[in-house]
Structure 1
């Protein structure tokens, strides 16, 4: 016993007391999920934020019930609100009840999934292999679960760079060689960050003009030829499956043809849109050709509804993937058997040595709902976006600012106003409806107007939620005229 009468170490001094507090908190979490439609986003009050401060000294909290109560009352109510069925801001995933179960098990196991021979490594392999088959990648593919598409893009482009420059790039660097990559003008900012982190400079990410059908293929070919003539080494095309602003899809088969003709690596940013592979027609066909890519970045925490965070980098050729990252010091040497077995280790396929157990929540979602159940939810989200688009088009004064391709709807509340006045109105409506808790829209720029933007990735969204949301916009637009 210590001087204050407690047991040494950091485990609870009374496991039964801890059990009771944990059960109460679990009930609160389940209640929160079961009543998600009653809990929109709300600002965190200043007095609650003040309770988050941490002391520099002191013995800490001895009573597990007190900690559980703080988590329930001061933390649980103040998320981003993305579990609510009328949360359409950005492209936020909405979580699954099964994630609560899998995250409890993952926290209890506390496994480092960087490598070694243990169960969660095999779970991750199962998740990656399942995704490989869904996306049409060959058995030669490999993958690694990561924080999200931003990290996956860095990993993929590093493998692409190694192919372009050869294995000595890891020891000698680029050695003055000038690399260029190509993406549509609306490609996600993750592509820019990736080329900057790799030291290429974002000016060497060539932004190709695009329209509703994706990037301009003729302009892409012309830019590749122009760069080659100037002495550059074009090395990668970045295709988009679901653009973040408008939900657009590049023609992936056409990009694969160009990549083959030009000898370039084709990477696909499929952060959310890749999962239309599970949807019904016509949305499934949006990602035709995705299996021809050299690499794919996608997120399970967006349109697969898995709790944050979990993304995937999938690479067509495992040898190229491993060659870009494997570097095992002696203290991490593999063995034929025992805990140090289990090759391959995931630390040889990405940036992280210490890795959390992301796979278990994905595995649980797939086991619980299957590809058919998840596909039905994705299909329904696309139908809800189409429903919103139809309501906008049939409402006097409103106007769609881009076609509804998949699960995004971008519109203006009153097209009769000047562009500046439309922008001010749309921004004001977004903020007012967020604060009222009725609906969360984000905003984006289209045709020089700041527009309302709905990204529907919520399995809880129903037709009546769409009707209520558009009715709220109509009401606020009318109120602005009085």
Structure 2
């Protein structure tokens, strides 16, 4: 006979238990946030060394009985302090993240309520909140009311679905002769997602770029014509609304015209740059984004949210549904059949690769409504201003060559040595970045552009201030004065 004594499962915490937990957790998080303005950028030690040194805490299997929360918090804090500090304002490498606190709070809320958002009938209110966010993004980007989409973990999964949509909409069942056009500045995830979607490596054709690293539209036209003559099937052109390499924006309006004339799917990667549409400068530079058949944006980039918040929008949501819906799940036979045309209550299970999915909508909806749009716009305008400032100051340094005017918030530059030899320039540029990173104050990165090593200052973290940018410029200036005599032509 089962016991009738009411005892609470130890896994099922009550409200008072949560309060007790938060009383220990919140002070640690608050202290971390308070340290951020002066924290600089820590770099992880060698992973094997760190793990071996801390094996007593990192390599323990879960115990049979629980450990004190205080003990576990100490381990977590120690682990975090041994990772790169991507939340600090000195994070200027790659495409920086910010980790907006209000969004993290939304994750706690959604995790505890634990609503299932793949099926609208299970959680219509939460699905409606996410759909509201998606309609707002579509409107911001100029997409029509026929559009639809979903929030995903990031650009990679969004691009995968975009490729599947383009494949299903433009190619026959045997799609191996299909061709996608892009440039060598496009993020490598496009190649990866095409492979996952079943395309051979030969399906991705790289269009030459101009001196500003933007897609050469005439070259695109010529390549399409040549590929048709060769019996291939051009079906998609993937343009950049801000590359993660140096922030380049392709000529979106011109590419959209070619796509329409050639009946190609027009995909736009706005993962990094798309939300600059909130600003007047960004909107002017992103003209043509409104003609996209599919568009990727990342809230965890230019909207400063925690990592894991991407978005795909498709101009015609019926294509999205056709590409992702599958056979009926018998275990869901008791769930009411939705109206597939309902934009207010979309069925995310039929619009994305996921069935079980987290409630991503709340992590976007809460900060947008809590802060309003204006602070986001102001922050993006500040990043554009800081980028212009860094660009202008770097131009004054005779030992530096700066890439053409930045389209968004990345400045690319390289050292000019006395020898004028590209290899010497590359070495000096790499050493400059190592020196800057060695200060522990900022984190820069390098890339390769036209067979040359280029240093990058990526200004996108919400906590990056004018003082941090000026400190970065002083660090660069100090290194140059001590280590890189100016090339003679730079002094002329």
* TM > 0.5 fold call: yes
The answer for the alignment partner of 1:420 in structure 2 is 423
Name the CA distance, whole Å, in 1 between partners of 2:302 and 2:454. Answer: 23
Name the CA distance, whole Å, in 2 between partners of 1:51 and 1:294. Answer: 53
Change (3 A) 1:323 1:442: same
Name the CA distance, whole Å, in 2 between partners of 1:316 and 1:204. Answer: 24
* Higher alpha-carbon deviation: 136-145 or 425-434: 425-434
Q: Is the 8 A contact 1:83 1:94 kept in 2?
A: yes
1:125 positional shift: 0.7
Q: Is the 8 A contact 2:399 2:484 kept in 1?
A: no
Q: Which runs of 5+ in 2 are unaligned?
A: 1-6, 486-492
The answer for the alignment partner of 2:274 in structure 1 is 274
Matched position secondary structure for 2:430? helix
Name the CA distance, whole Å, in 2 between partners of 1:286 and 1:349. Answer: 30
Matched position secondary structure for 1:35? helix
The answer for the alignment partner of 1:3 in structure 2 is none
Matched position secondary structure for 2:116? coil
Name the CA distance, whole Å, in 2 between partners of 1:233 and 1:161. Answer: 11
The answer for the alignment partner of 2:36 in structure 1 is 36
Name the CA distance, whole Å, in 2 between partners of 1:54 and 1:15. Answer: 32
1:412 positional shift: 1.7
Change (3 A) 1:57 1:439: closer
Name the CA distance, whole Å, in 1 between partners of 2:442 and 2:130. Answer: 36
The answer for the alignment partner of 2:74 in structure 1 is 69
Residue 159 of structure 1 pairs with residue 165 of structure 2 = yes
Matched position secondary structure for 2:446? strand
Name the CA distance, whole Å, in 1 between partners of 2:362 and 2:435. Answer: 38
Name the CA distance, whole Å, in 2 between partners of 1:136 and 1:334. Answer: 38
Change (3 A) 1:255 1:353: same
Task: Describe how 1:371-450 pairs up with structure 2 within 5 A.
Answer: 371-417=373-419, 418-450=421-453
1:110 positional shift: 2.6
The answer for the alignment partner of 2:112 in structure 1 is 108
The answer for the alignment partner of 2:489 in structure 1 is none
Matched position secondary structure for 1:426? helix
* Higher alpha-carbon deviation: 118-127 or 14-23: 14-23
Name the CA distance, whole Å, in 2 between partners of 1:51 and 1:410. Answer: 43
Name the CA distance, whole Å, in 1 between partners of 2:337 and 2:235. Answer: 40
Q: Is the 8 A contact 1:402 1:411 kept in 2?
A: no
Q: Which runs of 5+ in 1 are unaligned?
A: 1-5
Q: Is the 8 A contact 1:36 1:84 kept in 2?
A: yes
Matched position secondary structure for 1:451? strand
Q: Is the 8 A contact 1:21 1:68 kept in 2?
A: no
1:330 positional shift: 1.6
Residue 90 of structure 1 pairs with residue 94 of structure 2 = yes
Name the CA distance, whole Å, in 2 between partners of 1:52 and 1:276. Answer: 43
1:213 positional shift: 6.4
Name the CA distance, whole Å, in 1 between partners of 2:427 and 2:307. Answer: 33
1:443 positional shift: 0.4
Change (3 A) 1:49 1:230: farther
The answer for the alignment partner of 1:81 in structure 2 is 85
Residue 461 of structure 1 pairs with residue 467 of structure 2 = no
TM-score of the aligned structures, taking structure 1 as reference length: 0.90
The answer for the alignment partner of 2:490 in structure 1 is none
1:425 positional shift: 2.3
Name the CA distance, whole Å, in 1 between partners of 2:335 and 2:195. Answer: 37
Q: Is the 8 A contact 2:40 2:88 kept in 1?
A: yes
Change (3 A) 1:60 1:319: same
Matched position secondary structure for 1:58? coil
Name the CA distance, whole Å, in 1 between partners of 2:275 and 2:82. Answer: 29
Name the CA distance, whole Å, in 2 between partners of 1:355 and 1:476. Answer: 48
Name the CA distance, whole Å, in 1 between partners of 2:425 and 2:353. Answer: 45
1:452 positional shift: 1.4
Aligned residues: 466
The answer for the alignment partner of 2:478 in structure 1 is 475
Name the CA distance, whole Å, in 1 between partners of 2:70 and 2:176. Answer: 61
Change (3 A) 1:85 1:177: closer
Name the CA distance, whole Å, in 1 between partners of 2:62 and 2:467. Answer: 52
* Higher alpha-carbon deviation: 408-417 or 235-244: 408-417
Name the CA distance, whole Å, in 2 between partners of 1:52 and 1:480. Answer: 43
Name the CA distance, whole Å, in 2 between partners of 1:101 and 1:57. Answer: 27
Q: Is the 8 A contact 1:213 1:251 kept in 2?
A: no
RMSD: 2.5
The answer for the alignment partner of 2:217 in structure 1 is 217
1:451 positional shift: 2.1
Q: Is the 8 A contact 1:413 1:473 kept in 2?
A: no
Name the CA distance, whole Å, in 1 between partners of 2:439 and 2:446. Answer: 17
Matched position secondary structure for 1:302? helix
Q: Is the 8 A contact 2:256 2:292 kept in 1?
A: yes
